[in-house]
Structure 1
Amino acid sequence: MAEPKGGPLASRIDHLFKAVRPKGREYSYDEVARGCEALTSGTFSKTYVWQLRTGQRDNPTKRHLEALAAFFGVPVAYFFDDQVVDDVNSQLALAAALRDSDVRDIALRALHMDTATRQSLARIVHEISRMQQSRPDPADPDSGPDAQT
């Protein structure tokens, strides 16, 4: 994950905003602040949430980190441990992929296949993915055979 100006904490909070989207859009700062307030019974302003996300503030209290972790459904260690970040981000990416109805349909159908058939399907999907990555994007004029290097 690329580090923005705000450092690792800001980067991780920003990633949670982008990845945890149960309403199909990013939470607003006000929604996060109100949710965190409800979880802690303390004060939590939308400005403070924005400051943490952008790196304007980078030393939150334990209570604030616990509230953010609870709100976004991640362990508090997400803000400190790179291995936890990798694990959680993988789970978030999977959850995001499963929100796509086509991906969900393929996954549900694969559940009813035997192991050999699922392995064949995985190889087919891998090969198609590899082929798509190697061909030029028709929407990108700089990726075709006439593109200048």
Structure 2
Amino acid sequence: MTDGPGAPTLAERIEQLFRTVRRPSGAPYSNEEVARSCREAAGERFSTTYMWQLRTGRRDNPTKRHLEALARFFQVPPAYFFDDEQSSRIAEELAVLEALRDTGVREVALRAVTLSPEGLGTISDMIEAIARREADARRGG
């Protein structure tokens, strides 16, 4: 792992996958489901407890095969676990997927598809202005 200063830990990266990559029904995967799939893919031991330990940071040095099995299960490149730059890019894409689960966000995104570049710029400016106003209100200003 090449975690630089401020880079997410392996546990944080795995946890983000669990939060974001879901079943078609929207329900999260369990440690047991992921461990079973990884056990089958890696051809090695991969217990539910081991999955929990990786998610919580109690274990942080999995084998290459284990990380490849996790990557295959969550459909991300194995570099997600090794390369800070790729991990960051993939994390941004995962954040978009997570946001799109929110019905309101999804409705706005679907409506924005038909807008011109100028219209998108206007909407973006409005969202930024509202976000600043709400952040100021949360700070009590």
Query: Same-fold call, TM > 0.5?
Result: yes
Task: Select 1:74's aligned residue among 60, 73, 76.
Answer: 76
Q: Larger RCO: Structure 1 or Structure 2 (Cα < 8 Å, ≥ 6 residues apart)?
A: 2
Choose the corresponding residue for 1:93, options 88, 92, 95.
95
State which structure, 1 or 2, has the greater radius of gyration over its C-alpha atoms: 1
Number of equivalences: 136
Unaligned runs of 5+ in 2: none
The two structures have a TM-score, normalised by structure 1, of 0.78
Name whichever of 17-26 and 91-100 sits farther off: 17-26
Deviates more, 1:105-114 or 1:17-26: 17-26
**Correspondence 1:108-147 to 2 at 5 A:** 108-136=110-138
The within-5 A match list for 1:12-27 is 12-22=13-23, 23-27=25-29
TM-score (norm 2): 0.82
Identity percentage over the alignment?
47
For residue 11 of structure 1, what is the aligned residue in structure 2? 12
Q: Compute the RMSD of aligned alpha carbons.
A: 2.4
Q: Is the 8 A contact 1:2 1:11 kept in 2?
A: no
> 1:70 and 1:117, CA in 2 relative to 1: closer, same or farther beyond 3 A?
same
When residues 27 and 2 of structure 1 are mapped into structure 2, their CA distance, relative to the original with a 3 A threshold, is: farther
Unaligned runs of 5+ in 1: 137-142
**Residue 49, structure 1, aligned to residue 82, structure 2:** no
Runs of 4+ with >6 A deviation: none
CA distance in 2, matches of 1:69, 1:102: 30
